[in-house]
Amino acid sequence: MSSTISVVLLKDFALLGRKGELVRVEKDYVHSYLLPHGIVKEITDQQVAKQIKEKQKARRTKIPKSMSEQSKALLYQYNDPTVITEGNPILGRLPPMNFYAYFRHSQREKMAWEWYPSHRLNRLPAGYKFVILIHKRRRYLGTFHYLQQFLMRRIHSALIIDGSNLGWVKGKPAMDPIFDLYDYIADKSEKFFFPFVWAFDQSFKRKLSKTEKRELSEFCTWTGAKIVDYADEEIFKLAKRYHTKYIFSQDHFKQYHTEHFIRITYR
């Protein structure tokens, strides 16, 4: 039996979408927060759900791409949701700081989130909406889009990431692929992972530009990211510590016994 149900938004709500849109959300979150606050209406009739989807699709085809991008930028704007900018209110209101995450074996665990500290944003690259995810008193970096999936998907397990292997663009070390992984897991991965646990080689950091070294140092101030002398060995230690067999890397780790692990990468 599915743990998510279809609802239509009765008002703009930053974490889920705009008024009139049909979305699937974890059942407990719908009944504990969204319905009592008049944010959504549950849709049980599949024919009605189909009609709403068709209207959404038709509406999207009529909106120019530029307008679509403009709306998206407004929806995820970095500001207090009550602030007015350019004559337009920020869409929706942010959800409560506390929420429940749903894990693979049906258990739910309390989590919280907050916007990334504004005075530290200049230490990270532009173009991302960063948040801090709080779980069992540990603070993990994430993106707002990745955060949205906590209400729509079950967490399969932790994901161990070979950061030194992932962080390359056209043969050069780079930080962009590191930050892009959050949205990739949110949108394209069959399984949803949390937390992300990263290992970077010292040699990788030395090859980065001055700006990207600063980004990596800031990235590693949060739980689950560390720079070590030899990342490959650390990766398997982390997998055992976090009780997961999933490793994100393009490395085949031929020098290790990897039959009990599953290696995934960008498709």
pLDDT in tens, 110-147: 888 888 888 888 899 888 889 999 999 999 999 988 99
Q: Are residues 121 and 253 in the same domain?
A: yes
pLDDT in tens, 173-182: 899 999 999 9
Tell me the C-alpha distance between 158 and 155, whole Å.
8
pLDDT at position 82 over 70: no
CATH code where residue 153 lies:
3.40.50
In this prediction the pTM is 0.71
Q: Are residues 154 and 41 in the same domain?
A: no
Query: Is the distance from CB of 219 to CB of 225 less than 8 angstroms?
Result: yes
pLDDT for position 89: 38
CA-based torsion, 64, 70, 73, 75: positive or negative:
negative
Structural domains of the chain, count: 2
Domain of residue 147, residue span: 98-264
* Geometric angle at alpha carbon 262, from 206 and 149, rounded to 5°: 80
What count of other Cβ atoms lies within 10 Å of the Cβ of residue 164?
25
Tell me the C-alpha distance between 188 and 183, whole Å.
8
Q: What are all long-range contacts of 53-56, with beta carbons under 8 Å and residues at least 24 apart? A: 53/22, 55/20, 56/20, 56/21, 56/22
Q: Are residues 11 and 122 in the same domain?
A: no
Q: Are residues 203 and 247 in the same domain?
A: yes
Q: What is the largest CA-CA distance in the chain?
A: 60
CATH code where residue 27 lies:
3.40.5.10
Q: Are residues 144 and 23 in the same domain?
A: no
pLDDT for position 69: 45
pLDDT in tens, 188-213: 999 999 999 999 999 999 999 999 99
Tell me the C-alpha distance between 118 and 50, whole Å.
41
Q: Are residues 217 and 182 in the same domain?
A: yes
What count of other Cβ atoms lies within 10 Å of the Cβ of residue 163?
28
pLDDT in tens, 11-67: 877 667 778 888 888 787 788 888 888 888 888 777 767 776 677 666 555 444 443
Once rounded to an integer, what is the mean pLDDT over residues 154-161? 94
Q: Are residues 124 and 187 in the same domain?
A: yes
CA atoms lying within 13 Å on the CB side of residue 252: 1
Query: Is the distance from CB of 147 to CB of 161 less than 8 angstroms?
Result: no
Q: Are residues 130 and 246 in the same domain?
A: yes
